Amino acid sequence: MTRGISYSLVLALAATAALATAPHSDFKLTMNSALAQPAARRARVRASTPSIAASSSGRAASNTTSEPLFDYFNGTDLQWYGDITLGTPPQNFTVVFDTGSFSLEVPGTACGAACANQRQFNSSASSTFEDGQSSQTIVFGTGVGVDPVEGNNWEMWLSFVADVLTIADMTLPLGGFFLITNQTATFLPDPFDGILGLSPESGDLFAAGGYPGIFGMLFVPESEGGAGELTLGGADTTKFNGPVLYSPQVGNGNWQLGSRGIFVNGQTARTLQSNVSLIFDSGTSNMLFTEPIAEAIYSIISPDIAPNADEPGTYGIACDLIPTLLAVIDITFAGISGQGAFNLTIPSSELSSGPFRHKPELCQTLINVSEGFNLVGLSLLKHYYSVWDIDNQRMGFAPNGF
């Protein structure tokens, strides 16, 4: 999921977060997700999975820990989420590990009925809780499902706090995060409690927890069992086949790679051959492109794909035509030094996101139109093991092992 205003979490609890308002299609730009901690207070690190070395800092990349992920399936694969704990004694929560944002938000008891389906953090029950005495709101640029955002319909009201945070075996003795004090009704059906951002500027979180600044992600579709895994401090080599191919990060604030071209069934168009920065967002279910790119892709796939006027920003096709369509999409990315360019492929099975709620005869296709940005979500990521290398500001991909 992507965020609509930008601010950075402070490293001293007494300071406040800096805010800058922006349209809802903008993204959060920075992350410092943990309060500064002396090295002596960092958690004990254990080696739990085979991993690849990728840290430029020289820290041992064999120190890894993994957390299982679970698929939220609702007609199509929507999100993967896993467990964390907060406070002393620990209180359990589930969160989406979201590369499209940079901070942690979980419901607090003040959220009440607006968060009735989620667990709520009880600050008075934690002996290590600290109140940051600041509040703000955030607006998301993409939501949990496949529907486009409409105005401020994905919004949270937040209070900045700090407490012990544990993800798998990585513990931050005092981590800064946000308690949700209110939220729009769009969040209420979610089977997970909150969102934990893992932007390319989240190195402070890993440093405070004593791990190298790198993580690996595996998203297994419902059709293959629906499991997944987040590995902190490295990548789990048992979960993929072949070498990891890397592409350098471009731009700031988001996980972005530069596309060298987009091909559909081996065909392309001039619009698809321009150099485009693509945001990689593990919290977005499908894909978003600007209208010229989306329509260029759809024009190659089928003339029967058309905008759905009932839900602006979406496209659809008669559901009975889906099995007849061949729609293999290849996106070319630059390699790092010593590696050539490579393609990432989205298979035909991703074309349909399922029937529209109010037009069950019409199936939503995987690309929505955005307001000025291009974004790749889980429709691509679930077909690869992905490595998110904060220390070296690059992303890597290998065919997953299922």
What's the full length of the chain, in residues? Answer: 402
Indicate which residue of 163, 204, 281, 391 is catalytic.
281
Residue 320 main-chain phi, psi, to 5 deg: -70, -10
Write out the chain in H/E/C secondary structure: CCECCEEECCCCCCCCCEEECCCCCCCCCCCCCCCCCCHHHCCCCCCCCCCCCCCCCCCCCCCCEEEEEEEEECCCEEEEEEEEEECCCCEEEEEEEECCCCCEEEEEHHHHHHHCCCCCECHHHCCCCEEEEEEEEEEECCCCCCCCCCCCCCEEEEEEEEEEEEECCEEEEEEEEEEEEEECHHHCCCCCCEEEECCCCCHHHHHHHCCCCEEEEEECCHHHCCEEEEEECCCCHHHECCCCEEEECCCCCCCEEEEEEEEECCECCHHHHCCEEEEECCCCCCEEECHHHHHHHHHHHCCCCEECCCCCCCEEEEHHHHHHCCCCEEEEECCCCCCCCEEEEECHHHCEEEEECCEEEEEEECEEECCCCCEECHHHHCCEEEEEECCCCEEEEEEECC
Q: Does residue 391 have an active-site annotation?
A: no
Instruction: State CA 102 to chain mean position distance.
Output: 10
Contact 18, 8 (CB under 8 A): yes
Indicate which residue of 98, 204, 389, 391 is catalytic.
98
Contact 354, 75 (CB under 8 A): yes
Q: Does residue 26 have an active-site annotation?
A: no
How far apart, in whole angstroms, are the C-alpha atoms of residue 32 and residue 197?
A: 10
How far apart, in whole angstroms, are the C-alpha atoms of residue 232 and residue 40?
A: 20
Question: Which of 198, 185, 192 lies closest to 155, judged by CA?
Answer: 185
Q: What amino acid positions are annotated as catalytic residues? A: 98, 281
